[in-house]
Amino acid sequence: MPADPLEIRGLTVAYGEVTALAEVDLNVAPGEVLALLGPSGSGKSTLLHTVAGFHPPRAGEVWLNGRCVSCATSSVPPERRELAMVFQNYALWPHLTALDTVSYPARRRGEKRAHARAQAQRILERLNIGHLAERHPAELSGGEQQRVGLARALAREASLYLFDEPTAHLDTHVRGVFLEELVTRQRDTGAAAVYAAHDAEESLGLADRVALLAAGRVIQVGTPQQVYDEPVSQLAAQLTGPSSVLTTTDGGELLVRPEWARLGGDRSARIGDVFFRGPHSDYLLDTTQGRVLLREPGPPRQRRGDEVTWSLRHSWPLRVRPGSGSDAEQRCRTGVKVPVVDDPHVPHGVGT
Ligand code: ADP
């Protein structure tokens, strides 16, 4: 069996007194996309930079394709780690056209000029900048330069890609196209990837597995559906999407995702607020068990103050109670305000 493209064991990284990562264990299987999902400051960039060889770990090991590249006794420099890292911002060469820039990785691999250029043109077209192929960076807008940078990243071939929030500065449409292209190329090449993001929807949509990071620790690893449907704690639930917590009569806590609740049924509530979201509407219900965020397709059917009935199709019992849980849970609980219902103005994810 081939070795995993990436294996991280007991990784601890610090900046002076600040521990940015603590005892992280993770692996990425061949061809797998692992999303790192966590709020700003949770350690995502630090993890990628350490794997790429830019930070020495304080403790632990990094293995790439069965070779230890960061160990107590040895460290392989970044340029010899044979991986591709894609950052939020891209530095383009001012003297090269978009087409030459995107052809460059294939030319470096030794591919013929015509083939490299045809491939590059196809990637530029997928990102809707095919007509800009002959322009230099100075003749491109900031957003267009961004897309050329992404196209160049997609043109590279490596057994492991590290993406550090590559879509952070893209508008929604280009973001969607880039993610589609990324997934297609992933399938075609069989490369593995670690994809850091703070957007839950994006991470859940593209990953084979998701690692949830909070305050430098991994709090849960699972398939997108596992981390969304069965979060290990309220914090894990908040990282993966909007949710509410109901308190049952015996004092237990039940997690409810907005689409697990429906208007109509045997429970009563008053509408605290309604938000039109385009394809669906969000209702904040005041119930005897707490505030519930409920999502229904279509425009609002009720108004604030209306008395309604509702029902639960599904719920998930939370096991971690306040005052228990890991260090990361504790630090996040004390450091971050944890509302009973996510801010409905933040439809997905954790914000920054
Ligand atoms: P993320 O990528 O999830 O936003 P980072 O890896 O950038 O998180 O940061 C993790 C932690 O390390 C944060 O507490 C951050 O403030 C700290 N940190 C990051 N870079 C430095 C640095 N160069 N010096 C000191 N602390 C840093």
Q: For 329, how many CA atoms within 13 A lie in the half-sphere containing its CB?
A: 17
In a domain, 342, yes or no: no
Q: Is the CB of 43 under 6 A from ligand 1?
A: yes
Kindly state whether residues 289 and 174 are assigned to the same domain.
no
Query: pTM here?
Result: 0.82
Atom of ligand 1 nearest to the CA of 16: 25
In a domain, 52, yes or no: yes
From ligand 1's centre to the CA of 352, what distance in Å? 13
Q: Is the CB of 20 under 6 A from ligand 1?
A: yes
What's 339's DSSP letter?
-
Q: Is the CB of 231 under 6 A from ligand 1?
A: no
From ligand 1's centre to the CA of 34, what distance in Å? 20
| pLDDT for the residue numbered 188 | 76
- Tell me the CATH number at 178: 3.40.50.300
Kindly state whether residues 167 and 222 are assigned to the same domain.
yes
In a domain, 346, yes or no: no
Query: Which of the listed residues 313, 332, 347 is the one where a domain comes to its end?
Result: 313
Q: Is the CB of 45 under 6 A from ligand 1?
A: yes
Mean pLDDT of the chain: 86
Map tokens 């709020």 to a residue. 39
Q: What is the DSSP string of 43-83?
A: SHHHHHHHHHTSS--SEEEEEETTEEEE-SS-B--GGGS--
Kindly state whether residues 79 and 122 are assigned to the same domain.
yes
**Span 79-88, average pLDDT:** 79
Kindly state whether residues 45 and 146 are assigned to the same domain.
yes
- Of 100-104, 151-155, 317-321, give the lowest mean pLDDT range: 317-321
From ligand 1's centre to the CA of 329, what distance in Å? 18
Rounded Cα gap, residues 336 and 187, in angstroms: 38
Strand partners, 281: 276, 296
Kindly state whether residues 134 and 273 are assigned to the same domain.
no
Kindly state whether residues 149 and 282 are assigned to the same domain.
no
Kindly state whether residues 212 and 282 are assigned to the same domain.
no
**pLDDT above 60: residue 327:** no
Taking only the tens place, the pLDDT of each residue in 241-283 is: 999 999 988 889 999 999 999 999 999 999 999 999 999 999 9
**Span 77-91, average pLDDT:** 79
| pLDDT for the residue numbered 295 | 96
The residue whose CA has the least distance to atom 12 of ligand 1 is 20
**pLDDT above 90: residue 191:** no
Kindly state whether residues 263 and 221 are assigned to the same domain.
no
Q: How confident is the model at residue 154 (pLDDT cuts 50, 70, 90)?
A: confident
In a domain, 220, yes or no: yes
The whole domain housing 221 covers 6-226
What's 168's DSSP letter?
T
Q: Is the CB of 42 under 6 A from ligand 1?
A: yes
| pLDDT for the residue numbered 19 | 95
| pLDDT for the residue numbered 278 | 94
Taking only the tens place, the pLDDT of each residue in 118-141 is: 999 999 998 889 999 999 999 998
Residue 247 vs residues 186, 288, 325, 336: alpha-carbon distances, Å: 43, 9, 19, 21
Q: How confident is the model at residue 346 (pLDDT cuts 50, 70, 90)?
A: very low
Kindly state whether residues 53 and 152 are assigned to the same domain.
yes
The residue whose CA has the least distance to atom 5 of ligand 1 is 43
Ligand 1 pocket mutation, candidates 12, 13, 15, criterion most atoms within 8 A of CB: 15
Query: Which of the listed residues 279, 297, 313 is the one where a domain comes to its end?
Result: 313
The residue whose CA has the least distance to atom 21 of ligand 1 is 15
| pLDDT for the residue numbered 73 | 78
Kindly state whether residues 202 and 301 are assigned to the same domain.
no
In a domain, 124, yes or no: yes
In a domain, 337, yes or no: no
Query: Which of the listed residues 226, 250, 270 is the one where a domain comes to its end?
Result: 226
Taking only the tens place, the pLDDT of each residue in 96-110 is: 999 999 999 899 889
Residue (of 89, 48, 82, 45) closest to 65 by Cα position: 82
Ligand 1 pocket mutation, candidates 11, 13, 18, criterion most atoms within 8 A of CB: 18
In a domain, 336, yes or no: no
Taking only the tens place, the pLDDT of each residue in 15-26 is: 999 999 999 999
Q: Is the CB of 40 under 6 A from ligand 1?
A: yes
- Tell me the CATH number at 292: 2.40.50.140
Kindly state whether residues 210 and 291 are assigned to the same domain.
no
| pLDDT for the residue numbered 108 | 87
In a domain, 299, yes or no: yes
How many folded domains does the chain comprise?
Answer: 2
**Span 221-229, average pLDDT:** 97
Kindly state whether residues 221 and 280 are assigned to the same domain.
no
